[in-house]
A and B are shown apart, each in its own frame.
Chain A
Amino acid sequence: MDAESPDDHKELMSRVARSRDKAAFAALFGHFGPRVKAYLMRSGSAPDSAEELAQEAMAMVWRKADSFDPAQASVSTWIFTIARNKRIDAYRRLNRPELDQNDPALVPDAPASPDRAYEDGQVSDAIRAALATLPAEQADMMKKAFFEDKAHSEIAAETGLPLGTVKSRLRLAIGRMRKQLKEFEA
């Protein structure tokens, strides 16, 4: 089976989770492994350590496949969060404080009708469409913010832009995306 579309990815994930299907994993690996490696190199890893970390991240995809929930995120996003956390862990020796979904202190979502926007790929489609229409400077800023392991102040220093400009470009980009996503909000 191919790993071309988001629907393929979901089907492959569910085969890995259900029956530890190595062929399905191989297809996912062929698609996402090189993207995870590219992401890690963009965020400052040398090729060797990017390869090593990408392997670790993909091993975690195999091991944690049953915790993937298509109602919450696309496969690509789920793998992005795994790679991101690996990067934080490996390069900054930091733990990432994360919320605990079983926390008694958690204020739950309002009961809503089941939301299929993530599952059906509408959210990623809308984000992709919004990214494509952003002015180049805003799209670049989003990529920098997500791919380079840099605080907004470091991006400002590196690009020579005032911090306020970095933040306002990001805000404009996010605002435009949110507009596209309005229909999915409860």
Chain B
Amino acid sequence: MSVVSARGPAGPIPHHHLSDDLLAGYAAGSLDEASSLFVASHMTLCPECRGRAAMLEEVGGVLLADIAPVAMSAGALDAVLSRAEAPANDEPVSLAGGRAGVPGKELPAPMRRYYGCDLDGIAWERQGGGVSVAAVPGLRDGSHAFMLKVEAGRAVPQHTHRGNELVMVLKGAYRDEAGRFGRGDVELADGDVVHQPKAETGEDCICLAVTDAPLKFTGSLGWLLNIFVKM
């Protein structure tokens, strides 16, 4: 849904956006939890993708309007009205940490809910080479997301991806063969891409990453894959 707010800008408008099939998957509700978190976090930072998502939800609405109906049971209306009057106990299952928002303004709210804190409360795990990681806790479906912090001016050692890796910058910026990526910018690296992102000088670069690669690494692809195995 598009959001109109009178507040001042909370950050720059991203230049690199979500793909149509990710947004369609989010609108349809078929993404895994890590990818949904990624999409919701990007949309927090990107008015354009919020607008595109609203259009795709409208596709769902049109398809629902035009579906061949299946009769409900006799008495369903009365059952619904009495159910609706009863105290609500059918709200979505809550995340660890509850539905209540976690205060902060650096991480998007969906991420703060999982971590239970804003960026300043994150416990980083150092990996060497100027790289630290912090896995997103509490994903229930076995999908994986983590934050990656690269020290200012450092390059992530060259690596390839098995499967897809989605990366979005949360703080600072990096550059690679595809250009400059700052807060809110999304990059999809598929299995064929060999890339070597380098954090800009002056500020550590912090990203959210989601990988759909199965956890079958043997270590032969280098240190970076060992991060995934620990997730």
Interface set of A (CB-CB < 8 Å, partner B):
6, 22, 25-26, 29-30, 32-39, 41-42, 47, 50-51, 54-56, 58-60, 62-63, 72-74, 76-81, 83-85, 87-89, 92-112, 115, 118, 123-124, 127-128, 131, 142-143, 145-152, 167, 170-171, 174-175, 177-178, 181, 185-186
Contacts and interface: CB of A to CB of B under 8 A. Distances in A.
19 contacts: A33-B80, A34-B70, A37-B72, A38-B70, A58-B80, A63-B88, A79-B61, A80-B61, A97-B41, A99-B50, A105-B104, A106-B7, A106-B44, A106-B108, A111-B4, A112-B4, A152-B21, A152-B30, A170-B24
Interface string B184-224: 10000000000000000000000000000000000000000
Contacts of A50: 70
A108 B7 contact: yes
Nearest to A85: B92
Contacts, number: 261
A177 B104 CA distance: 37
A105 B4 contact: no
A60 B89 CA distance: 11
A41 B6 CA distance: 42
A100 B110 contact: yes
B76 A146 contact: no
B52 to A, nearest CB: 8
B9 A107 contact: yes
B73 A51 contact: yes
CB-CB nearest 10 A-B residue pairs:
A77-B61, A34-B69, A108-B5, A104-B105, A100-B109, A103-B109, A76-B61, A59-B84, A62-B84, A97-B37
Contact of A167 (B21, B37, B109): B21
A124 B61 contact: yes
A77 B110 contact: no
B40 interface: yes
Interface in B109-164: 109-110, 113-114, 140-141
A74 B206 CA distance: 38
Interface in B47-90: 47, 50-52, 54-73, 76-77, 79-81, 83-84, 88, 90
Given A72-B54, A95-B93, A25 B81 contact: yes
